[in-house]
Amino acid sequence: MKLRSPLLALCLAGIPLHAAQLMSAPVTVATPQESAGLVARLTALDAHQGLTNDYSFRISSQHPGITGQKITRAQHTYKGLRVFGSESVVVTNAAGDIVSVASSDRRPGIAPSATTPGAAPLAAPPTPADLTPTLTADDAIRAAVQDIAAGATHRWPPSAELLIYPVMKTIRASSAGDKPDDQLNALDVSEVVDRYALAYMVRLRMALDGKLVYYDVVVDARDGAIIAKWPTLQTVTGTGNSQYNGQVPINTTQTAGGFQMLDAARGTGGKYGGMAITNADHSSPNNPNPGSIYTNNSNTWGDGKQYSGGSTTSANGQTAAVNALWGLMNTYDTNKNVLGWQSLDGNNTATYIAAHVGTAYDNAFYDDSCKCMYIGDGNSFYSLGAIDVIGHEMSHGVTAATANLIYTGESGGLNESNSDIGGEMVEAYARNGDTGSSVPAAGNDWMMGKEISKSGQPLRWLYKPSKDGRSPDAWSSALKNLDVHYASGPNNRMFYFLSQGSKADTTGDYYSPYLTRTPAAMSGIGNDKAYRIWFKALTTKFTSSTNYADARNKVLQAAQELYGGTSKEAIAVQRAYAAINVGADIDEGGGGGDSGEAVERITNGGFENGSTGWRGTIRVIGAHSGQAPYEGTRYAWLGGNGRRSSETLTQRVQIPAAATSAQLSFALHIDTSETGSAIHDTMVVSLRAASGSTILATLATYTNLTPAEGYQIRSFDLLPFKGQQLTLSFAMREDRARQTSFVLDKVSLLTK
């Protein structure tokens, strides 16, 4: 008899797989007791892998997931200190059950995963022996200030957090050992820990000579050496009469003497109690003061013209504020109406924009210290309040509230790319009537900041980043060394291809030489689906240290969860990333005698018809107590016996000789009562000859060391086996004590 599972999986039967999913209403922040309970459950999962009480978790933030779910970000700690860039993203349902966990694990004493199946395990770097600092926090702040800007003044109080800082190095997969650097794919390399440093993370938010100097600095806690540093100011530069959009409706509040630019219908709390536009009135960019909310005697604002100097409250001075309010309203509405996401943090906390910062100030930036935005009037540029610029900066606020991508290297490039993506989607939504529950298919120009440019040249081209002369079109090993605004280029191009597709014209801007499969011009899935997939990955799977390879895997997972494991949307994600040299290209469809339509080769993959189509230990199929299905009511529960046992499920399948695509996928949940670091229980997924006797390929081996809360979608490319009749096999073995459950559902093999 099966044992009741100690770790509950979520039943997803009530969530339609292919329906548009909305984010929940603002979440209630967990009580200390609830947070402690979640930490205890995560720690128990660690214990199954043999980790000691030195390892724990610290809750850092919470925000909504899809309706009925909450996302909690739990930082990894070792002996009470946070491990920088190491964390888990935990999805829970309304009952508090864990749905899934996505992690970036850089903790001491944990060996990194091998880069390729079958490769020798990698050794863990030495665990820090002494975690006692020589320097104080004040010492570290002084060292950081001296290194960055000795004469600067602090705009916000500096801080210094003692932590464990993993110093990373790049290693190659064994299969890429002889590849020249310029031929490497992003999946050919991995970032692993080289050593650990006891360090202070110093946050400086300063000003000097009319400029903001925002830096994060990693200072060695023993000798004061600067280990790493990076700028953190998130800028766009690298019925009102708006400047860029004609007459637009803006939501204001009536007062005793007239009206003010306070939108009380969008957001609550914050500095002003609602979304607001304030008049910085040329306050110095060195230390900008947002000033007071814009007011006017009538409810007609602005003259639609570039600010020409003089009064910031005249009709001409109001135009920058109109630009800002319309942009802020549309950013809010795009995410709320399309995704259900409210304001920047998902919890509907109001923000504000301060217009007229400085004099002829050529910048706009988001400041997470106040969770607000500042806009300059421009000099080389026009006023920096264009719709895509505001969507860009406000999207930095979404990133800060969710993945909090570290603003350097590849993660910094993804941070900037998310803002470019957000800016384009807000522009598409706004230019098509700013209503509705989907992002329109067109309306944006795929060029960031074109309207603010006096030369007509945009800041960035999403479809062909290299047109600016600095941004690369594809991933390379040098990407992590670029300014984040340029490192965003490849992912911007990926998103363009995902939405709009590519072209086969080798001389055009929309061609990728990395798309080598059929057809050469990949198909896009449109703005709406592309944005939903990207946003789900950002908010529920990305960690602060996510790089391009990790992003590709997690965006693919998001597409599979939303639209299916072998869906056209999941295929488009793989092709779009392949188009920027991240992962291998795959065939899109066509051929096989089915006019490009996918054919399901698995019989009864959801087990709803009992054992139909399956052979082996068919008693494992059913609707047992103690586990939940991925969808429907039945599933296959291999293991969970707590005694020596073997269970197998097999099905014979045929992949047509003319197939151009063959994608296997299944949903798998693993939980265990085993402890320690030894492998006791396994499930092997393999392909055998039609007779079932000869193993042709082992696709994956799962063990008691790979438990995961909730179901995970697993997928494999079986096209190399086209023209063959095969036996798909799931074979489980348990040893003599302590159960491990391998719960299988939604098995699918789609061919085209």
CATH of domain 599-751: 2.60.120.260
Tokens 């920027």 — which residue?
Answer: 580
Cβ-contact 30, 41 below 8 angstroms? no
Report the percent of the chain where pLDDT is more than 70: 93
Same fold across 137-232 and 405-588: no
CA angle 491, 485, 536 (to 5 degrees): 40
* pLDDT tens column, 277-297: 999 999 988 888 999 999 999
170-190 tens-digit pLDDT: 998 887 888 899 899 999 999
CATH H superfamily, domain 405-588: Neutral Protease Domain 2 (1.10.390.10)
State residue 566's pLDDT score.
Answer: 74
pLDDT score, position 12: 33
CATH class as words, domain 137-232: alpha beta
Assign domain 240-335+343-401 to a CATH class.
Answer: alpha beta
CA 697, CA 688: separation in Å to the nearest integer?
7
Distance between CA 330 and CA 444 in Å, rounded? 13
For the domain covering 32-103, report its CATH number.
3.10.450.490
The 10s digit of each residue's pLDDT in 112-167 is: 754 444 445 677 788 888 999 999 999 999 999 999 999 999 989 999 999 999 99
Catalytic residue among 282, 485, 624, 680: 485
The answer to whether 21 and 563 are in contact (CB under 8 A) is no
Helix axes 527-540, 568-578, angle to 10 degrees: 80
- How far CA 205 is from CA of 156, 181, 452, 720, 740, in Å, comes to 5, 38, 27, 55, 50
Is 76 an annotated catalytic residue?
A: no
Catalytic residue among 393, 451, 588, 734: 393
At 236 the pLDDT is: 58
pLDDT-derived band of residue 45, with 50, 70 and 90 as boundaries? confident
Q: Is 608 a catalytic residue?
A: no
Task: State the pLDDT at residue 238.
Answer: 42
Residue spans of the domains in the chain: they are 32-103, 137-232, 240-335+343-401, 405-588, 599-751
Please, are residues 455 and 248 in contact by the beta-carbon 8 Å criterion?
A: no
Residue 555 near residue 542, CB atoms below 8 Å: no
H or E stretch including 575?
Answer: helix 568-578
pLDDT in tens, 350-368: 999 999 999 999 888 999 8
Strand partners, 242: 246
Q: What does the pLDDT look like over 73-114, one tens digit per residue?
A: 999 999 999 999 999 998 888 877 777 788 899 999 887 754
